[in-house]
């Protein structure tokens, strides 16, 4: 089954304690992305990756890091989490978004993070 998996699904942590949210896709997609979703703000892109070892900042990258050492995995790292990073996080992947088709980004189930 084609899917994007994220772990953990729920996480409560304290300020400053480093954490990693894993993301993996089994569709051989080149493009992967991390979003955060907050009430009234919608989905905002944190970081994205066009392929292995190619990553770039999205709209809200502060406080986050990513890496893309393998095509299927794209972990999100919070080196020193703060309460304003409490949010719902989604990983997504897609093949190359062509001009006529394949505009679908496949989303993971989400990770709800609470930083106290």
Partner 1 sequence: QKEVEQDPGPLSVPEGAIVSLNCTYSNSAFQYFMWYRQYSRKGPELLMYTYSSGNKEDGRFTAQVDKSSKYISLFIRDSQPSDSATYLCAMRTQGAQKLVFGQGTRLTINP
Applying CB under 8 A, does 42 fall inside the site for partner 1? yes
Cα distances from 73 to residues 12, 98, 101, 108, in angstroms, run 23, 23, 24, 12
Q: How far is the CB of 108 from partner 1 (least distance, A)?
A: 5
Q: How far is the CB of 110 from partner 1 (least distance, A)?
A: 6
Applying CB under 8 A, does 108 fall inside the site for partner 1? yes
Using CA atoms of 5, 111, 62, 115 in order, give the dihedral in degrees to the nearest 10: -150
Among 7, 13, 19, 43, binds partner 1 (CB under 8 A): 43
Tokens of 114: 């609470």
Using CA atoms of 74, 88, 44, 68 in order, give the dihedral in degrees to the nearest 10: -10
Site of interaction with partner 1 (CB under 8 A): 4, 31, 33, 40-45, 48, 50, 58, 90, 92, 94, 96-97, 99-100, 103-105, 107-110
């Amino acid at each position: 089954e084609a899917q994007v998996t994220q772990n953990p699904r729920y996480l409560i942590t304290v300020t400053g304690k480093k954490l990693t949210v894993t993301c993996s896709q089994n569709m051989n997609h080149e493009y992967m992305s991390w979003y955060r979703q907050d009430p009234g703000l919608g989905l905002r892109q944190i970081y994205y990756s066009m392929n292995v070892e190619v990553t770039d900042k999205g709209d809200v990258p502060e406080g986050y890091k990513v890496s893309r050492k393998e095509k299927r995995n794209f972990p999100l790292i919070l080196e020193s989490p703060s309460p304003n990073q409490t949010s719902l996080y989604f990983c997504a992947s897609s093949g190359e978004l062509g001009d006529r088709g394949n505009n679908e980004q496949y989303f993971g189930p989400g990770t709800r993070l609470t930083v106290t």
